[in-house]
Structure 1
Amino acid sequence: MAEFVPEQTQEFLADAWRTERPTISGQGRWPDLLGEVLARWDLVHHYDGILGVWHRMEASAESVSLVTQVRAAGPRCALATNQDAARAEVMQAEFDYATLFDATYYSCDLGVAKPDPAYFRLVLDDLGLDPEQALFIDDTARNVAAARELGLRAEQWSIAEGHDVLRGHLRRHAALPAAD
């Protein structure tokens, strides 16, 4: 049985991410490929635990509330996410995103992932929007930069920054009414 040391952890994660990357564009399923990664590292006995962590997600009640507020104010809200098909299925089943959002765009279904410009074009075309009509919020700088290069209004935000920061972005772009 393999034992990890800190240097190996980074190598393992790099191997896992490299193997997972094609799955977010719909090429294979991560749960199937995870076994191969774990076999390379003599860690197959950890499959269930690692897959469980990978599937673990928690909805932020405050984020859900903000989506509801934005939709009530008029703008449509779409989920645009890079996901493997298996994780997309878990997300849809656990959080009912098809009801929460006006549209959902999983990279595995589109066959292309952010930050590829083709991803954004597919979403914009489906929504019937010109780039400047869309506000894109993402936690990854390269995705935000790619969206801006195409002419989308885009802001970087992660939940660790807090929802007040997100509310500020939404208000600045008129997606949420000004505070009372």
Structure 2
Amino acid sequence: MTVRHVLLDADGVVQHGVRDPFALLRRWAGDRAEELGRALWAAERGPLRGQGDFLESVRRLVPSYADVDPDTLYESLWADITPSEATLALVDRLRGAGLGVHLGTNQHRQRGEHMRTVLGFDRLFDVSCYSWEMGTKKPEPDYFEIALERIGAPADEVLFVDDMEANVEAARTVGLRAEHWHLDRGHDVLEDLLAGHGVLLG
């Protein structure tokens, strides 16, 4: 079957987040930075599936570890997002070539809404698959099943690109074509991967 849709991960593929979150945490929490980091990322697991409010968890946890306003910490770690201009240009080229281009990402509600509105991702992608809305997250197979329903295409017409091998392997088990790629590898490599699936942009 011909690839008619490209499903792109966000962090590491479409955008950069904070490069060294632990450096920021050490600024505020010192020797307890790693402990705070583990607590925060554990607290995010439920909200990634739409279970609970992550920002409330940040406000509850941070005062036990660091002398910093929790909202400041949240903004610095989760709202500091830099979209890749090269990836967004590629999205435009793909859409111009007649392909559906979609976003497939694990996000809690506040960060996903920031991406949708402040970064304008709802205008850039045909379908957005945010884990918090779907009640499941990558690499769970249900995530990809729901994504296919939203896109409205059979699995073998969808090429998924993600920077995490576990997510790529999970997508393949559901029948999607899938490739492992990260922004650091360069967009020439990504275009070669697309070409390997018959997506030729000239």
TM-score (norm 1): 0.89
1:21 to 35, 45, 49: 45
2:97 to 73, 76, 93: 73
Matched, 1:50 2:73: yes
Matched, 1:37 2:46: no
Secondary structure at the counterpart of residue 34 of structure 2: helix
Matched, 1:105 2:129: yes
User: Residues 176 and 10 (structure 1 numbering): CA distance in 2 closer, same or farther, change over 3 Å?
Assistant: farther
Cα RMSD for the two superposed structures: 1.6
1:134 to 127, 150, 158: 158
AA aligned opposite 1:4 = G
* Distance in 2 (alpha carbons) for counterparts of 1:117 and 1:148: 9
2:188 to 158, 164, 170: 164
Secondary structure at the counterpart of residue 38 of structure 1: helix
AA aligned opposite 1:163 = H
Contact 1:73 1:176 in 2 (8 A): no
* Distance in 1 (alpha carbons) for counterparts of 2:165 and 2:36: 24
Instruction: In structure 1, list runs of 5 or more residues that go unmatched.
Output: none
Offset of residue 44 of structure 1: 5.2
* Distance in 1 (alpha carbons) for counterparts of 2:80 and 2:51: 22
AA aligned opposite 1:140 = M
Matched, 1:4 2:30: yes
Give the total of aligned pairs.
Answer: 174
Match of 1:64 in 2: 88
Offset of residue 119 of structure 1: 0.6
User: Residues 65 and 3 (structure 1 numbering): CA distance in 2 closer, same or farther, change over 3 Å?
Assistant: closer
Match of 2:198 in 1: 174
Contact 1:73 1:175 in 2 (8 A): no
Per-residue displacement from partner, 1:81-130 (whole Å, max 9, x unpaired)? 11011001100112221211111111111111111111100010122222
Per-residue displacement from partner, 1:39-90 (whole Å, max 9, x unpaired)? 332x252413311121111111111100010111121011011101100110
Offset of residue 15 of structure 1: 1.4
Q: Which has the higher helix share?
A: 1
Contact 2:59 2:71 in 1 (8 A): no
Secondary structure at the counterpart of residue 156 of structure 2: helix
TM-score (norm 2): 0.80
1:149 to 173, 186, 196: 173
Q: Relative contact order, CA 8 A, sep 6+: which one is greater?
A: 2
* Distance in 1 (alpha carbons) for counterparts of 2:193 and 2:69: 41
Instruction: In structure 2, list runs of 5 or more residues that go unmatched.
Output: 1-27
